[in-house]
Amino acid sequence: MSSYDVIIIGSGPGGYVCAIRCAQLGLKTACVEGRETLGGTCLNVGCIPSKALLHATHMLHEAEHNFADMGLKGKSPSVDWTQMQAYKDKTIGQNTSGIEYLFKKNKIDWLKGWGSIPEAGKVKVGDEVHEAKSIVVATGSDVATLPGVEIDEKIVVSSTGALSLGKVPKRLAVIGAGVIGLEMGSVYRRLGSEVTVIEYLDHVTPGMDGEVQKTFQKLLKKQGLNFVLGAAVEKVDATKTKAKVTYTSRKDDSEATVEADVVLVATGRKPYTEGLGLDALGVKTTDRGVIETDGEWKTSVDGVYAIGDCISGPMLAHKAEDEGMAVAEVIAGKHGHVNYGVIPSVIYTHPEVAAVGETEEALKEAGRAYKAGKFSFMGNGRAKANFAADGFVKILADKETDRILGAHIVGPMAGDLIHEICVAMEFGAAAEDVAMTCHAHPTYSEAVREAALACGDGPIHM
Ligand code: NAI
């Protein structure tokens, strides 16, 4: 039996970052992981592989649509799906082995196998029981399936199967117009699939700003994605080669079907805590399986903490990372802090979508007086030169104080641009602070400054 200050269960972005911070703070640390590689869902079957496929297919889109206009003539590249998969797998490997290197560098023990907590202060991995003064549950989430839909990861797939299809399907039906559905839908659309997205709500990307939802859907439609909105999927009937999705219209209860060669189920995720022994241990969870934690990520059992997708809040890798660092500080006797009001969310399509803080809808509902400064990428020289002028930046600021309350971007590099606003919000900045900051020309970031100017006397280039 080995003894540790901290054992973290799960090596996703929450768990591995927590382990590294614990080690940096001088704690003897181990991390339990049952997969063959470190990095959890994000690195192995989530964020990283999907970004590789998004990048490759965006390059293809550029070649097919914009190269000729730039004077780059010749045949568009053809798709070698096997090579694209190999590129994706290589990217995964580089990232997961990078975490292994960081574990070695920080002297973190990787306890290989699936962990459980037989009692407070003990973690069982395989036949071995290890002691730990503190235990952090960072076991992430799993696909939330729909009743009437059975995932076989061949014809009816989750995001995991969608990353490794045997071939590019002729017809792809996507259930759910959330982040996964739209990112993977974009990948296959660019590869030539006929993509139909079936969504329960009357709009895409639940929770996002309404204006962003409308603009984004319009742009995706222009790229060829078909949408069936306000439709509740009831069942999927699959054979060995194709599937039929049956849905009911929420407007008039009529039933209709969509046929496809592959169906992607992207209707959300649920906390993954199976086999940990949480019930027997007395760790409180909600009826939806979310582990209950206090402001310091402590569960109802002393010495057991939880972070990431298995607790409440957005299921985002970077939220888990922040919690991982913060809980490490708490365990080391310091103060850990996460500002849940400033957690960006990004959809890595083209154009990208990024958001932080309040939406206009939330501000209206709360009855807050606000102003909105908006700037279109049509007025941004760099965006026009790069065939990337679709979309806008919108900054929401308090009407009285000018303090930034939120920002919403549809456009090129939105996922990077949003961080200027995140930093501004962390510092409690006003829109004027951003407007008065010199921004290099020509960059996409000028559109952020222009939106900030639009909160005051007005933008220059519009
Ligand atoms: P999601 O919660 O973003 O979207 C699920 C969608 O499915 C919703 O719009 C919902 O209304 C719809 N839906 C549910 N039941 C339905 C039914 N019976 N018929 C039709 N539509 C139905 O979930 P998603 O896209 O699966 O993503 C899961 C999690 O992973 C999210 O928390 C997401 O934030 C995270 N993620 C984040 C990424 C990023 O940050 N870029 C990338 C991929 C995932």
Known catalytic residues? 441
Kindly tell me if the per-residue pLDDT of 180 is higher than 80.
yes
Confidence of residue 1 (pLDDT cuts 50, 70, 90): confident
Residue 149 belongs to a domain: no
Closest residue by CA, ligand 1 atom 32: 315
Distance of alpha carbon 152 from alpha carbon 265, whole angstroms: 11
Helix (H) or strand (E) holding 16: helix 13-24
Average confidence (pLDDT) over 366-375: 98
Statement to judge: residues 119 and 74 lie in one domain: yes
Statement to judge: residues 55 and 20 lie in one domain: yes
Confidence of residue 260 (pLDDT cuts 50, 70, 90): very high
Statement to judge: residues 22 and 10 lie in one domain: yes
Residue 448 belongs to a domain: yes
Q: What is the pLDDT of residue 347?
A: 98
- Kindly list the distances between the CA atom of residue 388 and the CA atoms of 12, 347, 378, in Å, as whole numbers in the listed order: 33, 16, 9
Residue 462 belongs to a domain: no
- Residue to mutate (ligand 1; options 42, 54, 200; most atoms within 8 A of CB): 200
**Distance between Cα 54 and ligand 1 center (Å):** 18
Q: What is the pLDDT of residue 181?
A: 98
Counting from 1 in the atom list of ligand 1, the atom nearest the Cα of 159 is 26
- Residue to mutate (ligand 1; options 143, 174, 180, 251; most atoms within 8 A of CB): 180
Residue 199 belongs to a domain: yes
**Distance between Cα 314 and ligand 1 center (Å):** 11
Residue 459 belongs to a domain: no
Other C-beta atoms lying within 10 Å of the C-beta of residue 417: 20
Alpha carbons within 13 angstroms on the beta-carbon side of residue 252 total: 3
Those residues whose C-beta lies under 8 Å from the C-beta of residue 134, and which sit 6 or more positions away, are 5, 6, 7, 303, 304, 305, 331
Question: Is the full-model pTM beyond 0.95?
Answer: yes
- Kindly list the distances between the CA atom of residue 184 and the CA atoms of 157, 160, 175, 176, 230, in Å, as whole numbers in the listed order: 11, 11, 11, 11, 20
Which has the closest alpha carbon to 353: 315, 391, 386?
391
Statement to judge: residues 55 and 129 lie in one domain: yes
Q: What are the pocket residues of ligand 1 if the criterion is a CB atom closer than 6 Å to any ligand atom?
A: 146, 175-181, 183, 198-201, 206, 232-233, 266-269, 315-316, 345-348
Which residue, 319, 338, 357, sits at the end of a domain? 338
Residue 148 belongs to a domain: no
CATH code for the domain of 424: 3.30.390.30
Statement to judge: residues 196 and 287 lie in one domain: no
**Distance between Cα 141 and ligand 1 center (Å):** 13
Statement to judge: residues 47 and 129 lie in one domain: yes
**Inter-residue contact 268 to 314 (CB < 8 Å):** no
Q: What is the pLDDT of residue 76?
A: 85
**Distance between Cα 178 and ligand 1 center (Å):** 4
12 alpha-carbon distance from chain centroid: 13
Which residue, 338, 370, 396, sits at the end of a domain? 338
Closest residue by CA, ligand 1 atom 43: 180
- Residue to mutate (ligand 1; options 55, 143, 269; most atoms within 8 A of CB): 269
**Distance between Cα 415 and ligand 1 center (Å):** 18
Alpha carbons within 13 angstroms on the beta-carbon side of residue 340 total: 8
Statement to judge: residues 90 and 116 lie in one domain: yes
**Distance between Cα 181 and ligand 1 center (Å):** 7
CATH code for the domain of 229: 3.50.50.60
Statement to judge: residues 263 and 275 lie in one domain: no
Paired tokens of 49: 């592989």
pLDDT digits (tens, 9 = 90+) for 135-175: 999 999 999 999 989 999 999 999 999 999 999 999 999 99
Kindly tell me if the per-residue pLDDT of 419 is higher than 80.
yes
Q: What is the pLDDT of residue 161?
A: 98
**Distance between Cα 204 and ligand 1 center (Å):** 10
Statement to judge: residues 67 and 101 lie in one domain: yes
- Residue to mutate (ligand 1; options 54, 160, 179, 353; most atoms within 8 A of CB): 179
Counting from 1 in the atom list of ligand 1, the atom nearest the Cα of 180 is 25
Statement to judge: residues 240 and 282 lie in one domain: no
**Cα 315-317-321 angle, rounded to 5 deg:** 115
- Number of domains making up the chain: 3
Distance of alpha carbon 378 from alpha carbon 4, whole angstroms: 56
Residue 176, Ramachandran bin (φ over 0: left; ψ between -120 and 50: alpha; else beta): left
Residue 169 belongs to a domain: yes
Statement to judge: residues 17 and 136 lie in one domain: yes
Which residue, 323, 338, 353, sits at the end of a domain? 338
pLDDT digits (tens, 9 = 90+) for 103-136: 999 999 999 999 999 999 999 999 999 999 999 9
Long-range contacts of 335-342 (CB under 8 A, 24+ apart): 336/296, 336/297, 339/426, 340/313, 341/425, 342/422, 342/425, 342/426
Average confidence (pLDDT) over 451-458: 98
Residue 288's domain spans which residues? 3-141+270-338
Counting from 1 in the atom list of ligand 1, the atom nearest the Cα of 314 is 32
Statement to judge: residues 316 and 384 lie in one domain: no
Residue 293 belongs to a domain: yes
Kindly tell me if the per-residue pLDDT of 265 is higher than 80.
yes
Q: What is the pLDDT of residue 330?
A: 98
Counting from 1 in the atom list of ligand 1, the atom nearest the Cα of 176 is 7
Average pLDDT, the chain: 97
Counting from 1 in the atom list of ligand 1, the atom nearest the Cα of 179 is 25
Share of the chain above pLDDT 70, in %: 100
Counting from 1 in the atom list of ligand 1, the atom nearest the Cα of 182 is 25
